[in-house]
Amino acid sequence: MHFVTNHRHWMGLALQIADQAAQEGEVPVGAVIVTSGGELLATGANRREQDHDPTAHAEIIALRAAGHRHQDWRLEGCTLYVTLEPCAMCASAILQARLRLLVYGADDSRAGAIQSVLNLTVGPAAFHRLQVIAGVEEQACRRMLSGWFAQKRASPDD
């Protein structure tokens, strides 16, 4: 499979997971972790509302599942696909996991910690060099998020 097509494939799965999260009342963010051999290792969706847990971001859920399945917290060689630019908490966890590559869809102009607001992947605290590809399926990711938030604002019950 062609490299770019492969990124779109995995981001498509992350979008499906984000859609599931939206249907469950969560902010629609989905994450997928893939091994260096191209095998699906773990997935995660936002679960903050369901779990009553401020750390239950899609990336954290996926990292925990990947570490458990991999039987190692070091996920060297793995790639994380996520529909929204990670926040500071998630960016730090991604660096801790020693992932090889982060691929994300939409920038987060409010809390993005990869390039939009902060860049935690460079500087003295970035002990691990993480490769980053931004903007994969950006429009689809952005549409999903903006549509969900528009619907939430329009709903008087929430």
Six-digit token string for 149: 């938030």
- 58-70 and 3-23 helices, crossing angle to 10°: 110
pLDDT of residue 1: 43
Give dist(CA 23, CA 125) in Å, integer: 37
pLDDT of residue 123: 73
52: left (phi over 0), alpha (psi -120 to 50) or beta: left
pLDDT tens readout for residues 113-151? 999 898 888 877 777 789 999 999 999 999 999 888 888
pLDDT of residue 4: 56
Whether pTM > 0.75 for this model: the answer is yes
Could you tell me how far CA 42 lies from the centroid of its own chain? 12
- Our answer to whether residue 59 is catalytic in this structure is yes
What are the mean pLDDT values of the chain's consecutive 10-residue runs (158 residues total)? 73 97 95 95 97 98 97 96 97 95 95 90 78 95 90 73
Give dist(CA 66, CA 72) in Å, integer: 8
Residue of 26, 59, 85, 137 marked catalytic: 59
Other beta carbons within 10 Å of 13 = 16
pLDDT of residue 121: 86
Nearest 5 degrees, angle CA 52-CA 54-CA 59?
A: 110
* Residue with token string 């996991």: 97
Q: Which residues is 84 bridged to in the sheet?
A: 106
Run of H or E including 116: none
